[in-house]
Amino acid sequence: MQVLIELTDDQVDEVLVEGLKDGFKTNLEFPEEPNYYEINQAFRTLLAYYMGDKEFNKYIKPFNKLYNTKRLVEANNGL
């Protein structure tokens, strides 16, 4: 059975943002994966685009400390 649901552009954006948030959080759990930082930056770019600056900055603030700390540790280890 097929069901058709019509969504406004804003509703589509909300669904997209929630999916991007889930993907972003999942990516954070696997820092040893190849291209981790590139993927992380791609999620950040897309989230900022779809959320807008104010909402994005509020959302991303708790993650910035974790992201920067891991990057510094790995840089010190020569990775």
9-61 residue pLDDT tens:
999 999 999 999 999 999 988 888 888 889 999 999 999 999 999 999 999 98
69-78 residue pLDDT tens:
456 445 545 5
Confidence grade of residue 79 (pLDDT, cut at 50, 70, 90): low
Torsions phi, psi for 77 (to 5 deg) = -85, 0
pLDDT at 6 over 80: yes
Burial 28-57, CB ≥16 within 10 A → b, else e: eeebeeeebeeebeebbebbeeebeeeebe
| CA gap 45, 43 in Å, rounded | 5
Report CA dihedral (46, 33, 60, 52) to the nearest 10 degrees.
Answer: 0
Q: H helices within the chain, ranges in order?
A: 9-28, 36-51, 53-76
Amino acid 65: pLDDT:
73
What residue segments make up the domains of the chain, in order of their start? Answer: 10-76
Amino acid 71: pLDDT:
60
